[in-house]
Amino acid sequence: MWIKNTKSQIENFISMKMCKECAECCKNYPLIRLSKNEINSLELFTGLHFGIPINSKGIAYEGYLLQFKENGDCFFLNENNGNYSCDVYEVRPEICKKYPSNLRQQEACVLNREKLFS
């Protein structure tokens, strides 16, 4: 059965491809605040204790922040031959689900799309 693609379906496909090849939003992001519910979801999904992927030390914020690797990548971001994936995509934090949520983030996505697909 053939289904005609709508513009939004095509844009979603491009965005997904772009995200797999870009992942800039998962690199060097300053602060990913996590709620207790998000921590619980991550713990249940990964089997990790919250002390592993969470960092609440040394930052003037009362709560929990997602830990990043030494190279600046999100703790759960993986790279394989230039393609990126998220180990916790199904239970990723709300801030990740909503990205890009503001004009600056949307503009960054457009610029990255142009770089990748030009």
Contacts of residue 112, Cβ cutoff 8 Å, sequence gap at least 6:
18, 22, 24
Report d(CA 65, CA 55) in Å as an integer. 5
In this structure, what token pair is assigned to residue 56? 């609440």
pLDDT score of 16: 67
pLDDT tens by residue, 15-47: 567 778 888 888 877 678 888 889 889 989 988
Report d(CA 113, CA 19) in Å as an integer. 9
Q: Is the peptide bond before 53 cis (omega within 30 degrees of 0)?
A: no
- The pTM of this model reads 0.70
